[in-house]
Homo-oligomer: A and B are copies of this chain.
Amino acid sequence: MPAMNMIQALNDAHRVAMRADPDVVVFGEDVGFFGGVFRVTEGLQKEFGKQRSFDSPISEGGIVAAAVGMAAYGLKPVIEIQFADYIYPGYDQIVSEVAKIRYRTAGEWSMPMVIRSPYGGGIFGGQTHSQSPESLFTHIAGLKVVIPSTPHDAKGLLIAAIEDPDPVIFFEPKRIYNGPFDGYHDRPVKPWAKHPASEVPTGHFTVPIGKAAVVREGAELTVLAYGTMVHVALAAVEEHGVDAEVIDLRTLVPLDIETIEKSVEKTGRCLVVHEAPKTSGFGAELVSLVQERCFYHLEAPVVRVTGWDTPYPPAYEWAYFPGPKRMKTALEKVMAD
């Protein structure tokens, strides 16, 4: 199994899917000749031709709308929104159309498509290259929301998303495109190569949508995380010697509630972690579900570790980012209570 970083893995997933299904088409801003600003679609135009991989106008609304029309025709569009922060001009088409067409046509039309977008902070991107808008999509019935945290999962989940009959919002944690991140921005950058999850099966394979991964077993605390924060959380529990079970959700909708319940029932404590602002972040839903379903197992309130309820301030990136110190405080709190 070749070692890949996340970009290579995503690129490979596109190729596998495009080779298998001539109806898969890939487009978005700068994705054609150039291969995307993060190079995820590099070489696709060369291999599959301009009719299947091409640049689009700078119009996120138009990109999504075109994908709707293509999906209505019978194609499987995979579109890139250059940064998740720029998805809002396409929000109406996603919420009012992509998410609702199967429902409002009672299944006569469906909207198989993947809307890929790099998201999250930690890359000096400031307000408009760092956002984590996942909860704006988890609230919308009809959408699936997937966030990988390793090259292995990125490939397997993307292929699964492309093959899925429903529309999938696929957020890619851009901070860990090139290597995992423990939250210590002042330590040397690690490449994926040394991480076991950089070993990515060749050819076709899928990681099922709707299944979380227990990435660390533990007995005294359950940590729910996704994307970059999986790695930050893992590093923190190691550092503080907490015997935590760390669950990488991988899919936010539909959520793998079974894995979560099983774990919290065992540990009696739960920490929920994400980069997005706290108020109405996806963490709120996780906390609600855990307290609704595991209340009598809980020994302490579920604690949220999140970004602040402010826009993302670039010069204060590391005061904003929920890094090791915020993790530490939260771990102490959730274990002390």
Contact = CB atoms under 8 A, between A and B. Distances in A.
B311 A103 contact: yes
A292 B311 contact: no
B282 A253 contact: no
A217 interface: no
Contacts of A288: 283-284, 287-288, 302, 304
B141 A309 contact: yes
Interface in A73-102: 85, 88-89, 91-92, 95-96, 99-100
Contact of A301 (B127, B282, B291): B291
A141 B306 CA distance: 14
A295 B301 contact: yes
A292 B301 contact: yes
- Copies of this chain, how many? 2
A88 B99 CA distance: 13
* Size range of the chain A interface in the assembly: 35 or more
Given A139-B280, A284-B285, A302 B311 contact: no
A139 B309 CA distance: 8
Contact of A138 (B142, B280, B285, B303): B280
A216 interface: no
A60 to B, nearest CB: 8
Contact of A92 (B91, B135, B304): B91
Contacts of A295: 298, 300-301, 337
Contacts of A311: 99-100, 103-104, 141-142
A132 to B, nearest CB: 10
Interface string A161-190: 000000000000000000000000000000
A324 B253 CA distance: 29
A128 interface: yes
A141 B310 contact: yes
A309 B252 CA distance: 14
Nearest to A96: B88
A36 interface: no
B292 A303 contact: yes
Contacts of A292: 287, 301-304
4 shortest interchain CB distances as A-B pairs: A88-B92, A139-B280, A295-B301, A284-B284
Interface of A: 61, 85, 88-89, 91-92, 95-96, 99-100, 103-104, 127-128, 135-136, 138-139, 141-142, 253, 276-277, 279-285, 287-288, 291-292, 295, 298, 300-304, 308-311, 313, 337
10 contacts: A89-B92, A96-B128, A135-B135, A135-B139, A138-B279, A141-B311, A280-B282, A284-B287, A295-B300, A295-B337
Given A104-B127, A141-B277, A292-B303, 9 more contacts: A61-B89, A85-B96, A100-B311, A135-B139, A139-B277, A141-B310, A280-B285, A283-B288, A287-B288
